[in-house]
Amino acid sequence: MTHAVRRFHVEDRYSDMAIHHGTVYLAGQVPDDTTQDIRGQTRQVLAMVDRLLAEAHTDNAHILMAQIFLADMADFAGMNEVWDDWVAPGDAPPRATVQAKLANPAYRIEIVVTAALKA
């Protein structure tokens, strides 16, 4: 039996999201307004994650894994302040946070999420 891969917001190079076998895979989400500090950029990115997960009919309580890329680990505490307010209480997912050179030097953060569909 084959299970189709559903892709959302397909561009030439990537899709924003794919769903396969009940798992939702998001592309790396980055901020639109790069003039904001780490808190503002983190809020933007998490809002994008929320919108995509809602489109897949799931939410942040169903995140299986989050990968967070920071341009500067000095932003770790500020990012965590926003993350802690956003994460579903009692459902904090496994997470990795690393410093990385991001595609746009103005990006302070990029987040990749894998989530389960709601049962």
Dist CA 97 CA 106 (whole Å) = 18
Contact (CB, 8 A) for 29 and 110: yes
Contact (CB, 8 A) for 45 and 30: yes
Count of residues making up the chain: 119
Determine phi and psi for 40, rounding to 5 degrees: -65, -45
Measured on CA atoms in the order 90, 95, 98, 103, is the torsion positive or negative? negative
Assign 71 to helix, strand or coil. coil
Dist CA 69 CA 11 (whole Å) = 22
Q: What is the pLDDT of residues 74-117, one digit of tens each?
A: 999 999 999 999 999 999 999 999 999 999 999 999 999 999 99
| Confidence check: pLDDT of 119 > 60 | yes
Domain map (residue ranges) of the chain: 6-116
CATH code for the domain defined by 6-116: 3.30.1330.40
pLDDT value, residue 2: 61
